[in-house]
A and B are shown apart, each in its own frame.
Chain A
Amino acid sequence: MKRTLGTIVAVLFTTAALAQEPTLIRFGRGFAAEEQVWLMTARPDLTPNQGKKYALKQILFQANPERFQAYLAGELDAGTAPGLAVIFARAEGVDMKIVASVCQEAKGYFSTTYMVKDDGPIKRVQDLKDRTIGVVGYKTATDLWARAGLINAGLVPDKDTKVFSLGFPAMGDAVRTDKVQAGTFVEPFYSQQLEKGGLRKLFTAVEAVGYDHELLDVWFGEKFIKSHPDVVRAFLADYVAVTKYYLGNTEQAKRDLHKAGFVRGAIESYLKNADWRRDPNARLDVDSLKKLSTFMHEKLKWLEKPVNVDGMVDQSFLPH
């Protein structure tokens, strides 16, 4: 009798303990421009809901397709991704929704920059005819901006100008040695190259598409959103709090991220790096996503059919 009672009590305790266990969010992150997201792990003290309403496990991915494949394989619940990558995913029927903004390409802030040799023959984008422009992967945001810049200048990408994929670290040397005549630069490579000298801006991502637009966003799987709406709400409440902290205490936040190992390299250069625009309330510029989607469908022919952008965005979980 005693043994039976003991077993019942043990089972009840275990069940109660499991019931209180916060829901785990398996979050696929990238390696650039996601400071607020990383800060949630580096500074959990800024996230009151973490450990209570949800537990966060961040998993690093080098590229978007792998992140989405991991999600499709049931290994991720959420993550970060460029808006256009989510547009691609939705076009293929992946059940995910963008719920918040991470950062945007905007005037007055850092914008991904295409640079050429200072003393080279490329004075304007038209001069890229019969030459090569370096991007960081096909069908990525860097590819889209490069193509937009070329189209604006009356050039036909792939026909008039080759679009070549190279890693960010190799871009500076590739431009200097004329392997490509223009290259894509983001921080910290942009500042490093400016410091080295010999390169200058040709155009930026904002100039290429002609409007401010979403760069990186936070997405969640639709099933996760449906089964854990409160968890998503709690996560985003913390996310917005961390974003505000980051914007108000950027230097300290960057020091914390560097100390936690999210950023490598010299802290001094990291502190000096220019930054993209981050909305303090993590609100999305949905119209810019619509424009990007239309451009991808109509001009670049990257999408077989238009994507319903309103259907892939849900900002209702953000704090009001």
Chain B
Amino acid sequence: MTVSVSGLVKAYPGSRRHPAPVRAVDGVDLEVADGELLVAVGPSGSGKTTLLRCIAGLEDPDRGRVSIAGRDVTGLRAGDRDVAMVFQEYALYPHLSAGRNVTLGLQARKVPADTVARKLQEVAALLDLEDALERLPSELSGGERQRVALARAIVREPAAFLMDEPLSNLDAALRARTRADIRSLQRRLATTTIYVTHDQVEAMTMGDRVAVLRDGRLQQVADPDTLYARPATGFVARFLGSPPMNVVPADALGISGRAPAVGVRAERLRIVPRGRFRGEVVAVERLGAHSIVHVRRGEASILVRVDRDPPAEGAPVEIDFDDDDLHLFQSMDGARLP
């Protein structure tokens, strides 16, 4: 089922210290195709969670519309929107067993008991939860809680899944594994999913498309390859990628006149005997397969990826690049110039 958002605005009243209202979501238009996994990513305060909560029906937008499966749901309460949500802190009902947590939504909708039991068995098998169903949330591990929260969403067979940073409470190893699990599960179920995260690695690895938000506005919505290859703004360029793109004033790269700010990926810079500009190595991050060299040139800090034999800290280096690899921007955060 498709999910679409048009002209969505949600503002919160200002505080005593900052009396102006804060527009958490500021005119967002978004179309999520049937079966697609769209990741909304942005730094904290970018409005991604508020956007998700407006779609879920947990917040009333000030303006704009939310449609799910072609039906305008803007005025409907959360329970009538046919969406399921996975919360960052899982929000399991503490007094109910894992199994009852999964089925409460079905029971509230008066689904017949034998259907509820069958669906519970199916989803428990799918998520490897058969042995956990009788236990209370407090008796489950973090990973099991996370799977119960997923099961609670999946068992309802909703029009769309809404996931709010569902991996942020897991340790790094489990997070990487669960990331892949959720991705393959979503493909198998082919349920439209909106996935919110602040982690750009999650965004790039999981999303069919990624929506980058900043200050409540969409910066760019595109597939991960496009985002990486042709970021629409300097902000997107500096937010995505590991390491993020070098976006600096043009004269820092020894060129001028073409754009106020230029960007170039670390792996497109080369340390050579004679290059287009010269800088000083201030730090070297050795990551095993490659190293990231931090080079200072004037005020700017530039990252260079080196596959072997990084230079010593403090050494002067010459750096070269091709003009084809430059990205031109109106400003450090501003729009891309053609």
| Binding between chains A and B | no
